[in-house]
Amino acid sequence: MTDTGRFLTALRRAIRGLFGASTGSSTRADASGRGSVASVRTSISTGLLSPGQAGPSATVEVDPKGLRGVDLSYAPSPDGQPDPGEIVWTWVPYEERDGRGKDRPVVVVAASGRDTFLAVQLTSKAHEGSRDFVALGAGAWDAAGRPSWANIDRVFEVHSGGMRREAASLDSERYLKVAKALNARYGWR
């Protein structure tokens, strides 16, 4: 294939990805349940990896029940770094753990290391009455003004280099709702 052909193929995949259409590539899980190397190579060939999608700054799901000494303290600061209480965008793997995922907002709930933070994902899909979701209402993180819910059932480790941007901050009252739910479920303070 010529360089022009490779460029047009990559551009076509990128455009399909932006508009939600299938890129034509399939993702198969390997024996560990993660996406195959081929699926990562397909994404790399487009040149459109999202921050947090791969490499040392990849966003990964962690077992919240195994975490001890988590300090839940509200500390947003518009400094370009994730801080507890802020909403940032990062790659979030799907629950199927098959290598797929999407760029989405997460609430940073705690620092867990020098450049590592714990976060829970946000969704605009209604989850009234579910103990796995904390209702947050609408906020500046959603341009459409839709109400959001924080999913406390899945916790992610986010790296400074694996986030796209600071979207907004929760006010202290809403952060406290999330922190209380995490404390009740996992014993975090």
**How confident is the model over 46-82, as pLDDT tens digits?**
456 788 999 999 999 999 999 988 999 999 988 877 8
Write out the H or E segment, with its range, that includes residue 167. strand 163-169
The answer to whether residues 70 and 155 touch, using CB atoms and an 8 Å cutoff, is no
CA 147 to chain centre: 18
pLDDT tens profile 166-177? 779 999 999 999
The answer to whether residues 104 and 89 touch, using CB atoms and an 8 Å cutoff, is yes
Instruction: Report residue 14's pLDDT band, with 50, 70 and 90 as the boundaries.
Output: low
CA Rg, the chain, in Å? Answer: 18
pTM of the predicted structure, to 2 decimals: 0.74
Average pLDDT (34-47) is 40
The answer to whether residues 34 and 97 touch, using CB atoms and an 8 Å cutoff, is yes
